[in-house]
Amino acid sequence: MTKDMLLTHPWFGPAVAALIAVPLALLVHRVGGLVLRRLARGTPTLHAMLVNMQPAGRLVLPLVALQMVWQAAPDDLRFLAQVQHLNGLLLIAAVTWLAVRAVNGFADGVLAQHPYDVADNLQARRVLTQTRVLVRTASSMLLVAGGALMLMTFPGARQVGASLLASAGVIGIVAGLAAKPVFSNLIAGLQIALAQPIRMDDVLVVEGEWGRVEEITGTFVVLRIWDDRRLILPLSYFIEKPFQNWTRSSSQLLGAVFVHADYGMPLAPLRAEVERLVKAAPEWDGRFFNLQVTDATERTMQLRVLCTAASSSLAFDLRCKVREGVIGFMQREYPQFLPRMRIEDGAGADMAAAAAQHAMTTA
C-alpha cells in the first residue's frame, strides 16, 4: 500500500527525474571540464579562466538540469511554483558567480603572462593596472546585475520599482547627488585603466608624501609611504588634482646633490673625487654624472652633483652616498674651505679701529 502510494504520488516522477539529472549534470561537468582544459592547454589565459570557473560550473549545471526538470513537470503539482522560483534564484546566483569567476580567471591568466617582479616591469605594471581596475569594475557590474535579476523575480519588487519610477523626479535628483562620489570614482577608475596616469608600483609624490602605489581598488588608491605608512586617496583625486609620477615612462631618474663650499675650494680635485665616488657606487647605472657650480652668494658657492640611477630608491641611496663622500673628502683634505663665518685680518683691524674711535667720540 505504501509502495503503491509512493509510485502514484504526483511528485514521484519529477523527483526521480531530478535524482537522475543531477548526477548526469555532474558527470557532464567533469568530463566536459577535462576536455575543455586539455584543449585550452596551449592558451594560458583561456586555461586559467576554465580552471577558475570549475567550482561555479559544478553548481550551475545541476541547477540548469533541475530547472529543466521542474519546467517539464505538470503545472498542477503542489508547491511547484515555489520550487521553480527557488531554483531560479539559485541559478541566477550561480550564473553570476560563474561570470565573476570567469572574469577573475581571465585576469589571472593575463597577469601570469606579464610578471611585474622583474627589473624592467613598465609594461607589466601597465597591464596589471588595467586588468585589476577593469576586473573590479566588471565584477561589480555583474554582481549588481545578478542582484537586480533576483529582485525582478519577486512580483512585489516589480511593483515597488513601478511606484518608485512614478515619483522619480525628486528621488532621482536626491539619488544622483548621493551617488555622485560613487559614479565619479567609477568613471575615474575607467580613465585610470585606459589612460593610466598611475599604475601599480608607480612611485608618486602626493600631498607632499613620497610612496609607491600598493593597491588600486574600485574606489580608492593605497599609497605606501617610505616609512610604511599608508595614504588612502579616492580614484577621482588622480583625475582632478596634480601629482608627481616618477615612473610614468621609465623608472630611471637623475638625482641631484647640493653642497656649499667656500670660494677657496679648488674644483679639480673635487671633480676627481666625485668621479671616484659615483663610479664606485653600485647604485649608479653608468649613464651620466657631473659637478657644476650652480649658484654663488656673498659667502659660499653652491656645488651641484648630478648622477643617474635605475630607480628612485637607488637614486636616493646614490645621492646619500655621494653627499656623504663629498663632505668627508672636504673634511679630510680641505677643512679650511668648509662654509663658515669669517673676517679677514685687514678688514678686522679696520672694524676694530672704527669701533674704538666711535667709543671715544661718544665718551
Query: Cα(347)–Cα(344) distance, rounded to whole angstroms?
Result: 5
Query: Cα(55)–Cα(76) distance, rounded to whole angstroms?
Result: 35
pLDDT of residue 17: 83
H-assigned helices in 120-246: 122-152, 155-166, 168-178, 180-195, 237-240
253-337: which CATH topology? Answer: Alpha-Beta Plaits (3.30.70)
pLDDT of residue 362: 46
Query: Cα(99)–Cα(107) distance, rounded to whole angstroms?
Result: 12
Chain-centroid distance of CA 290 in Å reads 36
Map residue 324 onto helix, strand or coil. Answer: helix
pLDDT digits (tens, 9 = 90+) for 99-133: 999 998 888 888 777 776 666 666 777 777 778 87
Query: Cα(318)–Cα(257) distance, rounded to whole angstroms?
Result: 10
**Which sign does the torsion angle of CA 219, 223, 224, 225 carry?**
negative
- Residue 19: all three cell numbers together: 535524482
Query: Cα(121)–Cα(201) distance, rounded to whole angstroms?
Result: 9
Measured CA angle at 178 (ends 177, 180), to 5 deg = 65
Q: What is the pLDDT along the chain (363 residues), one digit of tens a residue?
A: 455 555 566 677 778 888 888 889 889 888 888 888 888 888 888 888 888 888 888 888 888 888 888 888 887 778 888 888 888 889 999 999 999 999 988 888 887 777 766 666 667 777 777 788 788 878 888 888 888 888 777 776 655 544 544 544 444 444 454 445 666 667 777 777 777 788 888 889 999 899 999 888 878 899 999 898 999 998 888 888 899 988 887 778 889 999 999 999 999 999 999 999 999 999 999 999 999 999 998 889 999 999 999 888 889 899 999 999 999 999 999 999 988 765 555 544 454 455 445 444 444
Q: Which residue type, as a one-letter code, is found at position 4?
A: D
- Residue 152: all three cell numbers together: 525582478
CATH class of 189-245: mainly beta
CB 14 within 8 A of CB 77: yes
